Amino acid sequence: MNITQEQNAHHVILHLEGRFDFGARKVFKEKVEKASELKQPVILDLSDVVFLDSSALGLLVISHQMLKSKTIALYLVNPQTYVRQVLDLANVAKIIPIYGDLGEVPTSN
């Protein structure tokens, strides 16, 4: 999986691309930890994620908990249909807000 980062006035945006699975755990954790240093809400742009497995779901929850302990919000944005179905089956939206596009994400914690 490839992860790129950008920052705007309100958020740190991590663009994820490819398969989000067990093999991506190390790079994902490093990128989220680095993003948390900026003390802004973190958005995971899932528009280019083509696959998501149970280890990725666990990483999302762990990342949410880590960021929450630092009073930093985590948002998921624009998941493809398959990825959205996996997120819905796992009830991820009860823990982490999911939005259809970047413009819907709140601009404050």
Q: Judge: domain 2-104, CATH 3.40.50.300.
A: no
Q: What is the pLDDT of residues 9-57, one digit of tens each?
A: 999 999 999 999 999 999 999 999 999 999 999 999 999 999 999 999 9
Question: Running DSSP on this structure, what letter comes out for residue 9?
Answer: S
Question: For residue 90, which of 43, 56, 46 has the smallest C-alpha distance?
Answer: 56
Which strands make up the sheet holding 42-52, listed edge to edge? Answer: 2-7, 12-20, 42-52, 74-77, 98-99
Cβ-based neighbour number of residue 86 at 10 Å:
18
Rounded to two decimals, what is the model's pTM?
0.95
pLDDT of residue 6: 97
pLDDT of residue 109: 57
- Asked if 68 and 36 touch (Cβ cutoff 8 Å), the reply is no
CA-based radius of gyration for the chain: 12
Q: What is the pLDDT of residues 59-103, one digit of tens each?
A: 999 999 999 999 999 999 999 999 999 999 999 999 999 999 999
The pLDDT-based confidence of 107 (bands split at 50, 70, 90) is: confident
